[in-house]
Amino acid sequence: MEKLSSESIESALSNLDGWFLNEGQLCVLYQLNSFMDAISFANLVSDKSEHLNHHPKIIIDFNKIEFNLITHDIGGLSKLDIQLAKFINETYNELFISEH
């Protein structure tokens, strides 16, 4: 597995609402309606993470949840980070963003 180029990372970020780079990690912070929403969301992401064998750092503070992604083996971001970020982004939009 190889590190993504800066151009690839910037391109991916342009399609990931709310995501940003922080100290070489792909990060996002969501504020949800409740603690249970945050826990349920974390569980969905953990299931996908197990399937990918790629595990994010997840921080829960009551109704806030933060995800930090990096591929430690290569010391940077890989396609797995982008794949997981897209899953997190799509899941958040599907479950918590109302189209009304």
pLDDT, tens only, 20-51: 999 999 999 999 999 999 999 999 999 999 99
Average pLDDT over residues 56-70: 98
What phi and psi values does residue 77 have, to the nearest 5 degrees?
-95, 140
Q: What is the pTM of this model?
A: 0.94
With bands split at pLDDT 50, 70 and 90, how would you rate the model's confidence at 99? low
Mean of the per-residue pLDDT values for the chain?
95
Percent of the chain surpassing pLDDT 90: 96
List the domains of the chain with CATH numbers: 6-96 (3.30.1360.20)
Burial of 35 (0-12, 13-18, 19+ CB in 10 A): middle
